[in-house]
Amino acid sequence: MIGLCSRVEMRNGVSKHLLLMDFRCEKSARSLRDLMAACQRFGYAGWLLESHGSYHFHGDDLVDESEWLAFMGRWLLLEQHADVRFIGHCIIERVSCLRLTGNRVWRAPKAVARVSAKA
């Protein structure tokens, strides 16, 4: 399997992060609407993806580590949706990673909704 990690090393030596999140809410139309609303309320544009057992967020923007930590912390406030163990591991390791491909057991994640940042 291939995963996408959040840390991006820029040519000037600065590190940035992609905004990646793993959710552990029930897969339903209501959960999808709630996740879209939360992303918009937080001001994050990107894509909600669906995999075998859950939803995931892939943001559009690269942010510094301070904003990445704030992103992680905001999702902790919505623990009914977020995978708090995922967040904990990400904060400890200072990087997040989500699977991009499938295998014989799990299909590849697919985009199910486009999230626009609230204007």
Question: pLDDT, tens digit, for every residue of 30-72?
Answer: 999 999 999 999 999 999 999 887 899 999 999 999 999 999 9
**Can you give the residue range of the structural domain that contains 93?**
3-115
Give me the pLDDT at residue 99, please. 80
Average pLDDT over residues 92-109: 80
> What phi and psi, each to the nearest 5 degrees, are found at residue 94?
60, 35
Number of domains in the chain: 1
pTM of the model: 0.88
What mean pLDDT is predicted for residues 95-117?
81
Which residues neighbour 98 within 8 Å (Cβ) at sequence distance 6 or greater? Answer: 3, 4, 20, 22, 56, 58, 109
Share of the chain above pLDDT 90, in %: 71
Query: What pLDDT does residue 102 have?
Result: 65
